[in-house]
Amino acid sequence: MERRIDFWRERQMLCGRCGHRWRVDLDCIDRWEQAEENCPGCGLTCEHEGSPRVTLDSGDPALDDDRIAQFSWYHSSAQPHWPTRDFDPAAVLTPKTRRVMGREQRVAAWVARQRAKALHVGTYEAAVHNMLRRIRDQADQRSPFFLCRVRLKPSVVVREGWLVDPGDFVGDTVLDEVCPPCVDVARYWNYYEDPGGLSLALGRDAIASVQRIAVPLPDTWDGGWVRDAVAALEGVSDTVVPATDRPALRMRPSSPRAVLG
C-alpha cells in the first residue's frame, strides 16, 4: 500500500513551554531553525530551552499496528545491494587497519557491534531527505544512490507505541535495544528526515522483499533534447522588446555543458 507523497505537507509544532500546538510547512521549519520564527503562544524562539519542536502528528496512519506491514517503506543507500544478507563488515578492513584496531579479538568485537545495528526505513520523503542530507553533509556528492522500496513480512510483530529517534550521534541504533525478544519492528519519531514522520528500526529478518532503482535512472540522459536546446538558443537573435526598448538577451552557448551548467 502506497501513501500519498507530499514533501510540502503541513507538520505540527509543539511548544515545550506553553504547550501551544500549531501547523507549519517546511519553509516555516527552516525559518524557525534560523530563529526567524517564534511560538505564537508565548513568543519563544529556537534559541531558548524548551522551545517548540516538530512533533508527531496524531493522525499518522503508521500509528496503526495492523497497517505497518501493509505499507511500502523506503530507504536510500549508496550500497547497490542493501540490505546485504551476508553482511561482513570486516571485508573492507585492510591488514593495516586490522593492525591499528588491535588483536583479532577486537576486530571480532567490532564486527559483532556492526552486525547488531538496526536497519532503518521510513517514508518516501524521509528516504529522499536522507539522500540529500548525505550529499550535503557527508561528502557523498559523487556517490551513486539507490532508492529501495521495502515490503515487510505480514507476520511482523510491532513494538507498542513509538520512540523518540533512538539513533546515536551518527544515527546508529542497536537492534536489541529497541526490539526486545519477540518484537520485529520499532516505530520512532523522525526529526531530521521527513520531520515529524514515523520511521522504523528493524532487523533483516523482518523484510520480505526489496525493490531498488538507481538515482538518477541510468537511461534518463537523452542527448537529443540537449542538442535541440542548444540549436534553439544559438538561433536566437537580438530583438527589441517593445515594453522596454531594450534588446533581448542573446545566448550562444558553445556546448551542451553551457546549458547544463
Contact status, residue 178 vs residue 116, Cβ threshold 8 Å: no
Cell numbers found for residue 147: 532508492
108 CB-near residues (< 8 Å, 6+ apart) = none
184 and 102 both lie in a single domain: yes
Do 130 and 210 belong to one domain?
yes
- Into how many domains does the chain fold? 3
Convert the pLDDT of each residue in 63-88 to its tens digit: 999 999 999 999 999 888 899 777 66
Same domain, 190 and 80: yes
The residues, any chain, with a CB within 8 Å of residue 85's CB and separated by 6 or more, are 204
> Looking at the structure, do residues 4 and 132 belong to the same domain, yes or no?
no
Domain that holds residue 105: 61-215
Same domain membership, residue 196 and residue 137? yes
Question: What pLDDT sits at residue 17?
Answer: 92
Q: pLDDT tens, 124-152?
A: 999 999 998 888 877 677 778 999 999 99
Residues 165 and 234 both lie in one domain: no
**Where does the pLDDT of residue 180 fall: very low under 50, low under 70, confident under 90, or very high at 90 and above?**
very high
Give CA–CA dist 72/61, Å, rounded: 12
> Are both 65 and 96 inside the same structural domain?
yes
**Claim to verify: residue 143 and residue 245 sit in the same structural domain:** no
Q: Residue 260 has what pLDDT?
A: 27
Cβ pair 208, 151 in contact under 8 A: yes
Kindly tell me if the per-residue pLDDT of 168 is higher than 90. no
| Whole-number pLDDT of residue 87 | 67
* β-strand partners of 247: 240
Assess whether 148 and 71 both reside in one domain: yes
* Distance from C-alpha of 61 to C-alpha of 67, rounded to nearest angstrom: 8
Q: Are residues 208 and 189 part of one domain? A: yes
Which of the pair, 49 or 186, is modelled with greater confidence? 186
Residue 224 φ/ψ, nearest 5 degrees: -60, -45
pLDDT of residue 156: 97
Same domain, 183 and 255: no
Position 153 pLDDT exceeds 50: yes
In a shared domain, residues 122 and 244: no
pLDDT for residue 225 is more than 70? no
